[in-house]
Amino acid sequence: MMEKRRRVLTSDEEEIVQQPSELIEQVIRVSRVAKVVKGGKRFSFSALVVVGDGNGRVGAAIGKAGETVDAIRKATEKAKKSMFKVPIVNTTIPHEVIGRWDAAKILLKPATRGTGIVAGGPVRAVLEAAGYANVLTKSLGSNTAVNVIWATLDALRQLKTREEILQIRGLLPSRQPGPKTE
């Protein structure tokens, strides 16, 4: 039997994967999938995992393997590598946003303190992993867990703080020193 070769990780990837597990990891879904071959069906597993630090960083990924444990491990490693930063303003999001992925649309709205996260399973997992405590959500369109998670991540990537928006519009002086004119 041939042994599978593993890809060598770069130093950055190794650092991310081997960090102490202060990350919030949530397995959203584990599915048994079948590939039909000449001799019958070959079964394997796919796992959907969300990872976050609870402080403004979140990522999600799908892992596939012959065993459930391996699929979850692969998904977790991929999710750690795909983490990105999101803005948190007073435990909520800075502004209303709609994320889209295939047929799934997700509306995220800022909420006042004490509201909590009003969301379905997959969306709640993403928002909790990111570190939000007060957000209102509405799932529009498809309710497939995978597409809803990608739509939520799309919405989170669109978020900008007030300062970032003012900077883009040119209403705030840039923080980089410009050429001196005398």
C-alpha distances (whole Å) from 145 to each of 76, 136, 150, 156, 168 are 17, 18, 9, 16, 34
Give the model's pLDDT for residue 1.
46
- The predicted-structure confidence for 37-87, as pLDDT tens digits, reads as follows 999 999 999 999 999 999 999 999 999 999 999 999 999 999 999 999 999
Residue 111 scores a pLDDT above 60: yes
Backbone angles phi, psi at 68, to 5 degrees: -60, -45
**Contact call for residues 106 and 152 (beta carbons, < 8 A):** yes
The predicted model gives 22-38 an average pLDDT of 93
Domain end among 84, 116, 137? 84
Task: Specify whether 94 is located in the same domain as 162.
Answer: yes
Task: Specify whether 91 is located in the same domain as 155.
Answer: yes
The predicted model gives 2-24 an average pLDDT of 59
Q: What angle do CA 57, 58, 60 make, to 5 degrees?
A: 160
Task: Specify whether 21 is located in the same domain as 77.
Answer: yes
The predicted model gives 123-149 an average pLDDT of 95
Backbone angles phi, psi at 28, to 5 degrees: -85, -40
The predicted model gives 14-22 an average pLDDT of 58
The predicted model gives 24-49 an average pLDDT of 94
Task: Tell me whether residue 140 is in a domain.
Answer: yes
Task: Specify whether 122 is located in the same domain as 138.
Answer: yes
Q: Which two tokens stand for residue 33?
A: 């999938």
**Contact call for residues 82 and 113 (beta carbons, < 8 A):** no
Average pLDDT of every residue of the chain: 88
* Domain CATH for 16: 3.30.160.20
The predicted model gives 3-32 an average pLDDT of 69
Domain count, the chain: 2
User: Which range of residues forms the domain containing residue 135?
Assistant: 86-168
